[in-house]
């Protein structure tokens, strides 16, 4: 059951990222020209690269969160609760995103992107701080 929930949450967030990047595209009215077609292809490539980077960042964030359990179990538990709650909320939003207007989508997409980026930056900082503290605790032996 837990794997299914995690998969649903991940799919919701991936869906949100994909829809968010697609929402950033602007469509030009009128008949497409050869130049517009080339621009569209370039935008599609850039969007695919953006989605890939977003997915890589989210994966890195999850990996750092998993690493935090060995560094500071108490902090790991706190961040895990926030992370799971945020992913669950984003998944729920993704399921109804198509029913709201474009302005609302842009606003909420940006809000989720901000919250995810902020949380992942906090997790990264916690990992760095924890590893630094552990390294500082290491006592050097006698030097000859």
- Please, what is the angle between helix 34-71 and helix 2-23, to 10°? 140
For 114-134, give the secondary structure using H, E and C: HHHHHHHHHHHHHHHHHHHHH
Q: Can you give the pLDDT at residue 26?
A: 45
| Average pLDDT value for residue range 87-97 | 93
Mean pLDDT of the chain, nearest integer: 83
User: 5 versus 105: which is more confidently predicted?
Assistant: 105
The values of phi and psi at residue 81, to 5°, are -65, -45
C-alpha dihedral over 57, 61, 62, 64, to 10 degrees? 130
Mean pLDDT check: name the lowest of 50-54, 105-109, 127-131: 50-54
Between 122 and 35, the higher pLDDT residue: 122
């Amino acid at each position: 059951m837990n794997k299914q929930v995690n998969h649903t949450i991940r799919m919701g967030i991936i869906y949100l990222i994909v829809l968010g990047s697609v929402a950033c595209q602007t469509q030009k009215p009128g008949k497409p020209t050869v130049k517009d077609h080339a621009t569209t292809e370039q935008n599609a490539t850039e969007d695919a690269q953006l989605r890939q980077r977003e997915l890589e960042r989210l994966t890195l964030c999850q990996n750092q969160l998993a690493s935090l359990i060995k560094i500071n179990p108490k902090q790991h538990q706190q961040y895990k609760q926030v992370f799971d709650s945020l992913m669950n909320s984003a998944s729920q939003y993704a399921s109804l995103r198509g029913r709201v207007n474009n302005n609302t989508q842009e606003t909420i997409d940006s809000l989720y992107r901000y919250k995810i980026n902020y949380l992942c930056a906090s997790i990264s900082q916690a990992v760095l701080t924890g590893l630094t503290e552990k390294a500082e605790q290491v006592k050097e032996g006698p030097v000859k």
